[in-house]
Amino acid sequence: MMEHLRGLGRRSCDVLEALGRSGLFLGQSMLGIPSREGWSLWLSQMHFVGVLSLAIVLVSGLFIGMVLALQGYTILVDFGAEQALGQMVALSLLRELSPVVAALLFAGRAGSALTAEIGLMKATEQLTSMEMIGVDPLRRVVAPRLWAGFVALPLLTVGFSVVGIYGGYLVGVEWLGVFEGSYWSNMQASVGFIEDIGNGLVKSLVFALVVTWIAVFQGYDLVPTSEGISRATTRTVVYSSLAVLGLDFVLTALMFGGFS
């Protein structure tokens, strides 16, 4: 009994310690003025986490928009409301699916790669040697990746929404024969810039921070062995996915739950 209690206490302390460590890590990485070289490092990371994630995010967006239109049409047509298809596709994507699915894809594609890359740098003592050269790896390695993820994911989310709405158009209008004017005009009339597009972007900024933070911290804090890298990469995807889905509920409740 006492042994169990002691184990529980030790684990709780470990969790609290890791949370504190990751908070300090985030603060130290994000604060500080970027140098001219910092911008070029950030740009190359934007290419790595942003541009290289573009294909998977856009293709997924297209298919999700197409599926939404197909499913939505079969339900709406029963009520004679298929003209509202554009509104349904756009609101579903902008409020929920784009931020959440783009963040999940980002965690799988870019987050796991960030963890593995930083972890391998740690395992091969590259981070330590950087420290011994007098260069802070938090500023040089972690900060550009953190900022790149923070900027790239909201942009990817916008791309996801645009392509998804176009996918809905392809299926709804071009294939199923919904009137084109009602597809676009219903969408235009019902989508609010602040409450729908703005809230969706706020969600994606929060997800971007959380997913990239988890990814770089897991890489920086892992046990520097091959098993440690593999576990940390898995943890990145699992923790990021859970955090995104959990936070999505909290943010949706705050934004659309009518509490304000």
What is the binding site for other proteins (CB under 8 A)?
37, 121, 124-126, 128-136, 140
Nearer to other proteins, 16 or 135 (CB): 135
Q: Which of 59/135 has CB closer to other proteins? A: 135
Min dist. Cβ of residue 126 to other proteins (A): 6
- Residues 6+ away with beta carbon under 8 Å from 112: 215, 233, 236, 237
**Given the complex with other proteins, which of 74 and 129 has the nearer CB atom?**
129
Shortest CB 137 distance to other proteins, Å: 11
CA terminus-to-terminus distance, the chain: 46
CA-nearest of 167, 190, 196, 177 to 84 is 190
Q: CB of 196: closest distance to other proteins in angstroms? A: 42
Element (H, E) at 190: helix 180-190
Helix (H) or strand (E) holding 107: none
Characterize 84-100 residue by residue with b for buried, 16 or more Cβ atoms within 10 angstroms of its Cβ, and e for exposed: bbbbbbbbbbbbebbbb
Comparison of 48 and 106: residue with beta carbon closer to other proteins: 48
Produce one character per residue of 193-218: b if its CB has 16 or more CB atoms within 10 Å, e if not. eeebbebbbbbbbbbbbbbbbbbbbb
- Taking the complex as a whole, the smallest distance from the CB of residue 37 to other proteins amounts, in Å, to 8
Nearer to other proteins, 125 or 174 (CB): 125
Sorted by sequence, the CB contacts under 8 Å of residue 257 that are 6+ apart come out as none
Q: What is the DSSP letter of 50?
A: I
In the complex with other proteins, which residue's Cβ is closer, 44 or 188?
44
To other proteins, the closest distance from the beta carbon of 127 in angstroms equals 9
Beta carbons within 10 angstroms of residue 148's beta carbon: 24
